[in-house]
Structures are given as structure tokens and as C-alpha cells.
Chain A
Amino acid sequence: MMQHFPVLAVMLLFLSAFIVEIFGAKSKAVAQGIAMIAATVSAGLIYALIKPVMIDGQIISYWMGNWAPVEEYAIGIGYEVDALSLFFALLVVTTFWLSGLYSIGYMNKDHHLGHYYTLYLMLSGSVLGLVMTGDIFNLFVMVEIMTFASVALTAFRNFSEGALEGAFKYLVIGSMGSSFTLTGIALLYAECHTLNMAQIASILAGGLSPTAIAAFGLIIAGFGVKSYMVPFHTPAADAYTVAPTSISMIFSGMVNKAGVYGMIRMIYIVFRAMDKGTVQQMLAIFGAVTMFLGVTMALAQHEFKRLLAFHSISQIGYVITAVSLGSALGLTGGLFHAMNHTLFKGLLFLTAGAVLKQVGTTNLDKLGGLSKRMPHTTICFLVGAGAISGLPPFNGFASKWIIYQAIYTKAVESGKFVYVLCTICALVVSVMTLASFIKVTQAVFFGQLRKEHENVTEAPFSMRLPMYIMALLCTASGVFYDFVNKYLLHPAANAALNISKYIDAMMGPGYAANARVSDMSVEPVAFSYWNPIIWLVLFGVLFIGAALVILGGRNERGQILSSSDPSQAKYDTFFSGEKEMYSQVGGSDLFWGFKSNWKGYYKFMEAIHSGIVNDYASMAVVGTAVICLCMFLFMR
């Protein structure tokens, strides 16, 4: 009975997508009802798997049409749910269920809701299928459905500014990424003559040939596009900004997690390459660049949702760096942060959506003082902001703390300077995240209430309920981190590191032993939160990081920063006196001094984020080339 649950959950979502299209076109309530019932049942089916998979340690395998392997050769399409898959599946169902709940209140003014729910169910079903499939071509098909549903949903409010443009860029970069993935899969098929991931893993256990390395590079680049790693991050910022907010939450909660899942599945299980120093360092550097670039771009934004989008990119950098370390501690931290990112970034997007719905704008320059009118939203936002900046009682602190420890331990063990830089980068980025959220809090919720917003009211209860749930989960997973570790993170990390069970569940017992697949033994990660020596060393590192930032900006001290351009008057030394009647530094521009000091950097960044689709495509090509080149130069 149990083994039918995963495939039923996926099929139910796809089937309901078509039912909604047939019956839901006329009536809003019918469309909402069908979608919510499907989402609830599907989420229930996945939650029912927690006990057998996470606690009892079973692995559920299912062959479509009962095409079981013949003579140890996989022919049919298989679904396989181990703890790693289930961990991501839980994130996915939680996200889309809450997003569906939020959509009821949020989308009630939009037309053609039948189409919206069709696409919503397609997107949910594809991501759920992606994390549970055991067949690599099925994985690709799910990636493609995910990309299309995402593009169509990005353009759903096609009357709004930039929606079409964002969708088009997403489509171009996304389908380039899919093509890279497909090329990689084709090369892998040419090498192994099978599409089953368990069987590929056991065939590749003997060592990677050049063909397999090329396939590895291309597939990692393809999933990098889906997880919005840095050279591929450009469409994410646009798509998150212009999509309806319930969909932005799905993007940051499950679509980019699907990319992260693909990377973990490929690196740890299919290719077994996480013990290769090259792969580790390359991905750690990509992750560190991703977090730094994301947060610095976020500091410069004046648009609430775009700012959150860049933070989303930045937090994925943490996950990629932590996962790339190849240690049990790093993997645990990465998975924990992926989960927490789903929770707190979903929460933040929901508050942004509530502001957009009730006030009508998310431009930080035009907002202010909403805490008096929207107190519940403000409290939820503060919880989310505290969690993303890593303040202690919330979950962001727990996961970031493990990540710092993991990177630092790696730096000590391997003696590579790269990891020291990554540690400093992770700490500095966390500080800048806090700074950026202070800016948002000041610009949106505190400060003076604008005259035109006197009549703003609190968001309706159906929109607040998902926020409360997420705020509660953010706090609970931060306080009871031991519980989360024991029942979710440890089984998932264990599943990624011990693959012989995964292969045996799919291909029959004894298959992995015949193929000489080696396992890594994993100790449960102890959360040594308050180890004083590590604290001390971390503060030392933090001090050095802070010193670097301060010294880096020092060169202009003592000079008069005056500019002849009157629009730049706020960069003058005495801007608040004679020249301008009012100070131009609003809450939305709290860190103008920082931006002024880093003028060159920001000029460069603006040139990169030009908005021209050809530039973004070139960046994606260069990123892919760099990844493949790194693999070829250093892995052989």
C-alpha cells in the first residue's frame, strides 16, 4: 500500500490540473476547491511517508506499470523515495499547500483563475515528481514542466510592468539550462546504457571516464541554472519580482530547492564525486560568490520583492557552499538551511504580498509606517527578518551556525585558504543581510505613515493564516533543532552518504555489493553550539572580516565627498544643511554611505545586470564553460 503513495501524490496533482481546466474555468470557487483538495490530499500522502521512511529507515521503490528490472537491467521508469527525497518532498508539499491557502485571499481580484490553478498544480506536481523520481530522463521531463509552468506563472499578470519581459528572460535562460542538462543526460546514457539513477551510480562507481566527467559538468551547470547559482541568477531576480507573490514564494520555496536537490543527488549519489577536492572547492567558490553578490545587490534595491529575490539568491549560496564541503556536518547544515530558507523566505514573500495587496505598491521609497495599520503582518515580517539574519531564537541562527562550523572545520582539516575566505564571506554576508533587513523594516513598517496610506487595513485572515503558520514553524525549528536534526536532517544526510541501500532498494539486494559501491559511515551530527574555543576563533575571524570591510572603505576618509551634480547632493559631506531643505536619506536609502564608498563595485554590478537577454545568456554560457573546464582540468 505504502509504495503507491508517492506516485499517487504526483498523479493526483497532474490530473487535477486538467480537471481544473475543464470545470474551473467558469467558477472561481470550483477552481479553488479542486486545487486545494488536490494539494491537501497530496500533502497528506507525503506526510504519511514520514514514519516508514524517516523513522523506520525504509526506502520506497515503485516501478511504473510494474516494469521491474530484468536480469539486473532497469528498463521501466522507477520512483524511489529515500530520506533525501522525502526531505525535499516535505518542503515542496508544505510550500505549495501554504501558497494555495494564501492564493485564495491574494488572487481574488484576478481573472482567469482556472488557468492560474492549472499552472499552479502543474508546477507543484512537477517539482514533487522531480524530487521523488529515480529515473534520470524523467527528472529532465519534470525539470522542463517546472520551467514552463514557472514561465507561464511569471507572466500571469501580463498587464503589470515587466511581467512579460521577466518571463521571456526566464524562458531563454531556463531552456538553455535544460538543454545543458539534456546533453549531459545523453552523454551519460551513451556511457552507461541505462537511465536509472541507481544503476548509473553503481556503474560509475568504478571511476569516471572523460565522457562521464563532461556529463557531470553539464548536468551540474543545468541544475545550477535551476537553483540560480551566480552566473545563472539573473532571471531569478526578474521573475521573483514580477510573478504574483504566492508564486514568488513557490519559486523561492521549492523551484530553486529542486535545483539544489538535483545537485545533491548528482554529486553525492549518481556521480559520487563529493570526495574530490576540485568539485568541493569549485562549488564552494561558486557558493561564496553567490552569497556575496546576492546580498550586495540586495542592499542597493529599492523594490521590496526584488530585494527579497536577491536575498533568496544569497541564501542559496550558503546552501551550495555547505553542501559542497562533502562532510556530514556540511550536508546537515546545508539541508537545514535549505529547509529554513523555504520557511523564512516564504514568510517574507507573504508579508511583501500582503503589503502589495493592501497598499498597492512595493516600492520602498513610497512606503513607511505600516506597523500602525498592519500590526500582525509587521510581527510576522520581524520574525522572518530575524530568521534570515540569523538572530538566535529563530531557525536561521541554528542552520547558519552549523554552516560556519562546517566551513571552518573544513578549513582546518584541509588547510586550504579558500575555505578561510568562505568562512569570512559567510559571516560578513550574514551581517550585511541584517543591515539590509534593518533598512526594509525602517522603510516599510516603521517611520512616518504616508498621508495617502491612512486608510490601509490589515490583510484578510486567509492571507494571515499561512503567515502565522510559517512564523510558528520558523521559531519552532529554531528552538527544537535537536528534534529536527534527529528526525529529518540526520536520515536525509545519511541517505545521501550511504547509497548502497538506495541501489539495493531499486535493483534488488546485493546489487550494490557486486558493483563495489562504497559507503561512508555517518555519525549523527552533534550540535556543539556553545563550544567556547570555536566561538573565540569565530569572533577572531569575524573581527578580521570586519577590519577588511572597514579598511577597504577607508581610502576616502578625510576627503570632501562633494559632487557638482545636484541630484547627488546627499553624497556631499554636509547634505542636511543649506543645499537641500530636507534630508534625502529616507529609510529606503539607509546605507547610502556604504553604496557611495563602493561606487566602483556597484557601477560594475549595474553593468552586469543590464537587463539585456543576450548578456544574461552569455553569462550562462561562460558559467557552464567554467564549470566544465574546472572539471576537466583538475579531476583527471
Chain B
Amino acid sequence: MIIVNYIASIILIVLGLYTVCTKKNLIKVVLGLGIIDYGVNMLIVSFGFNDGGTAPIYQMSDLLNGVSTKFFVDPVPQALTLTSIVIGACVDAMALSLVIMIYRKYKTINADEVRRLNG
């Protein structure tokens, strides 16, 4: 059932948002961002999925002979997901490198103490 995928991805997104909003450890905040990403990726892949569908590879003769082309898995969401996964990996890498630099400068990665810019 594809509905399981939808529910699971919404749960992942909400979990990620919860992590970002409540966890004080900056690395956990970054992990939260990652979890949101995974949820969204799963949602996109599920949109293109057809139960029992085939790969969208047909020859011209198949199409002309009227072979059913209705039940193939939509390739576009998979392409989108790949792009989105790459972007997500970059987010994580960049955020973690910033956390390392923050740790060197502030000697802490507690969000409550990394707040020199306020007011």
C-alpha cells in the first residue's frame, strides 16, 4: 500500500521539524534537517510509484502496436529525488562544517550559548 509511504514520510518530516525546534545540540539540529529532507524525498518518490509498474523503457514499435503504456513508474520524480538527495547531502556537509568552526570559536555547540547575535 502506497498510503503507508505517505504516512511514513509525513511522520519523518514532523519528526525532523520537532528535532530542529527542540534539540539544543547543534549537530542534532543538523540531523533534524536531514530527516526533513529524507521525508520529502520519500514523498516525491512515492508520488511517481505505480504498484506493479514497469520501467518506462519502450521501443517505438511497442508504442505503435498499442502495448499498454499506462502502468509504468513515472521517472520524473526519481530524477527530482536524485537532485534533492544531492542537495540534501550538501546541506548536511556545509552545516556540519559550520558546526565544527563554531565549536572551535565558541568552545561549545549548545544552542543556548551560541547566541551572541540577538535583540
B118 neighbours in A (Cβ, 8 Å): 606, 609-611
Assuming the contacts A171-B94, A176-B36, A614-B20, asked whether A164 and B115 have C-beta atoms less than 8 A apart, the reply is no
B112 touches which one: A167, A241, A606, A612 (CB < 8 A)?
A612
B33 neighbours in A (Cβ, 8 Å): 172, 175-176, 179
Question: Do residues B119 and A609 form an inter-chain contact, with CB atoms below 8 A?
Answer: yes
The answer to the question of A152 belonging to the interface, with a C-beta cut-off of 8 Å to chain B, is yes
A164 neighbours in B (Cβ, 8 Å): 98, 101-102, 105
The answer to the question of B15 belonging to the interface, with a C-beta cut-off of 8 Å to chain A, is no
B90 touches which one: A148, A193, A612 (CB < 8 A)?
A148
B111 neighbours in A (Cβ, 8 Å): 612-614
Question: Do residues A179 and B26 form an inter-chain contact, with CB atoms below 8 A?
Answer: no
B8 neighbours in A (Cβ, 8 Å): none
Interface range, B side: 35 or more
| Segment of A62-70, A154-162, A407-415, A436-444 in the binding face | A154-162
B99 neighbours in A (Cβ, 8 Å): 168
| Segment of B52-60, B65-73, B76-84 in the binding face | B76-84
Q: How far is the CA of A318 from the CA of B2 in the complex (A)?
A: 44
Question: Do residues A172 and B20 form an inter-chain contact, with CB atoms below 8 A?
Answer: yes
The answer to the question of B23 belonging to the interface, with a C-beta cut-off of 8 Å to chain A, is yes
Residue on B nearest A622 in the bound complex, by CB: B21
A254 neighbours in B (Cβ, 8 Å): none
A151 neighbours in B (Cβ, 8 Å): 94, 98
The answer to the question of A189 belonging to the interface, with a C-beta cut-off of 8 Å to chain B, is yes
A609 neighbours in B (Cβ, 8 Å): 118-119
The answer to the question of A166 belonging to the interface, with a C-beta cut-off of 8 Å to chain B, is yes
Question: Do residues A165 and B43 form an inter-chain contact, with CB atoms below 8 A?
Answer: no
Question: Which parts of A154-198 form the interface with B (CB within 8 Å)?
Answer: 155, 158, 161-162, 164-169, 171-172, 175-176, 178-179, 182-183, 186, 189-190, 193, 195
- Give per-residue flags for B15-29: 1 if the beta carbon is below 8 A from chain A beta carbons, else 0: 001001111101001
Question: Which parts of A215-229 form the interface with B (CB within 8 Å)?
Answer: none
Question: Do residues A182 and B84 form an inter-chain contact, with CB atoms below 8 A?
Answer: yes
Question: Do residues B43 and A614 form an inter-chain contact, with CB atoms below 8 A?
Answer: no
A165 touches which one: B84, B94, B116 (CB < 8 A)?
B116
B29 neighbours in A (Cβ, 8 Å): 172, 613-614, 617
- Give per-residue flags for A580-592: 1 if the beta carbon is below 8 A from chain B beta carbons, else 0: 0000000000000
Assuming the contacts A162-B116, A166-B117, asked whether A179 and B36 have C-beta atoms less than 8 A apart, the reply is yes
Given contacts A155-B98, A168-B95, A171-B98, 9 further A-B contacts (CB under 8 A): A137-B83, A155-B101, A162-B116, A176-B17, A176-B33, A176-B36, A186-B43, A195-B76, A614-B111
When A and B form their complex, which 10 residue pairs have the shortest distance between CB atoms, in order from nearest?
A611-B118, A611-B115, A190-B47, A238-B117, A186-B44, A618-B21, A617-B20, A162-B117, A168-B98, A179-B36
Would you give 19 A-B contacts (Cβ < 8 Å), ordered by A? A137-B80, A141-B83, A148-B94, A164-B105, A165-B116, A165-B117, A172-B20, A172-B29, A179-B33, A182-B84, A189-B47, A238-B117, A606-B119, A610-B118, A611-B114, A611-B117, A613-B29, A613-B114, A614-B21
Which A residues fall within an 8 A CB radius of B? Answer: 137, 141, 144, 148, 151-152, 155, 158, 161-162, 164-169, 171-172, 175-176, 178-179, 182-183, 186, 189-190, 193, 195, 237-238, 241-242, 300, 606, 609-614, 617-618, 621
